Every structure is written in C-alpha cells, then in structure tokens.
Amino acid sequence: MKIFLDTASIDEIKKANGVIPLDGVTTNPSLIMKEGKDYKETLKEITKIVDGPISAETISPDAASMAREGKDFAKIHKNIVIKVPMTPEGMKACRILTAQNIRVNTTLVFSANQALMAAKAGTFLVSPFIGRLDDIGQTGMDLIREIKTIYSNYGYRTQILAASIRHPIHVKEAALIGADICTLPYKVFEQLFQHSLTDSGIKKFLDDWDKLQKGLKK
C-alpha cells in the first residue's frame, strides 16, 4: 500500500519523508489554511520534496471553472493531481481534465455508488472519507471494502485512496482490504512506528549492556 501524507506542512513532509520515502501528499483548503501560506507556493515546495502524486484541491462551483483552476495548478509540476468534489459538476471537470492528461482525485466520497460514478468519469484516484463516516456512526471501512469489490468486479483502474484517517487501526484495515493508498495525518504517521514493547525492549537491552560494561570494568 502506498503511503501519502495528508498535510500542507513542509516541516511534517520533510520529517516523514526522512523516515520512509513518501509515495505522495494530499492537501485541501483546510490544511492550507492551517499553515497560512500561499497555496501554489506550498505545492511547488512539496513537489521538490516528494516524487509522487501531490493533490491540489479546486474550490470553484462549476465544471468549467474547476477545470480552469485545475489546469492552472497542473502547470506547477507534472506530479500535481487535481482534486474535484464528487458532484455532477466535479465529474464533468474530471472528464475535461482527464481528456487533457491531467490526473484527477475525486474527493468527498461517502458511498460506493459515488465511487462507481467517479471511476466511470475516469478519475485517477478516488478518496473515500473513512473518519468522517465513523464520526456519524457508520463504519467507514465498509466503504473501502465495497469499492474494492466493485472496482475489481469490473476492472476499473481507479486507485482507492483511503482518506480521513484518524488512527493506526484505520491504516491496518485499509491495508488488509487492499486499498491502493492511505493518506495519513502526521500524528498517525508517527503512531505507526510506536509500540510499548519496542520501547521496553530497547530499555532492557541498554540496561543489560550497561551492566555488562560495569562488570567488565571490575
């Protein structure tokens, strides 16, 4: 499974990419707002750090303006992928951009039928939002399972990007189901490396090593 970071923080991207090579990055207007920096400049900086799909989200209401915005973002770098919302206008924009060889990430996907429509519109990535479904009392991960089945039933090549990830269990389950990509907030990325038995194991080895050194000095 490919691992993307879900952030617009250059610092977080550099730190994570220093540990494992990131496969891509997803951004959205809320994440950009958090950083308070220019969107295009931030995207440009990210493309210099990570060699993989970098999602940039459109904010226009209609297909023609979404496509215009998308074309503008796509000029930044060949790795820029354009996020459009799962709406009929978004799907029209997806077709316009795809026809011009600009890859699309269909975002805000909350049902299997929406994912089916996105695949039919030719989207490169589909982003089901797991955590936001859990938040309203549904089982977000069921959606990943359904999309996986539908796409494999018909051989759609759209990649499933598990988004709105809240904790490491989401990551494990997405990997077990066979999601193509999981995009992680930095906090969850850090949690993937942690285990209390790893920490206590390191401590025990170091303590024993110290004891041995002291014994040898006697």
Nearest residue (CB) to ligand E4P, 57 versus 91? 57
Q: How far is the CB of 57 from ligand E4P (least distance, A)?
A: 7
Element of type H or E holding 57: strand 54-57
Contacts of 138 (CB under 8 A, 6+ apart): none
Task: Residue 201: count other Cβ atoms within 10 Å of its Cβ.
Answer: 11
Nearest residue (CB) to ligand E4P, 8 versus 116? 8
DSSP summary character for residue 100: T
Q: Which residue out of 83, 172, 187, 218 is catalytically annotated? A: 83
- Please indicate whether residue 44 is annotated as part of the active site: no
Residues that bind ligand E4P (CB under 6 A): 6, 26, 28, 55, 107, 127, 129, 131-132, 163-164, 183
Q: How far is the CB of 168 from ligand E4P (least distance, A)?
A: 15
CA–CA dist 142, 38 (Å, integer)? 36
Tokens linked to 131? 């955590």
> Does residue 144 contact residue 170 with C-beta atoms inside 8 Å?
no
Nearest residue (CB) to ligand E4P, 109 versus 117? 109
Q: How far is the CB of 60 from ligand E4P (least distance, A)?
A: 17
Catalytic residue annotation = 83
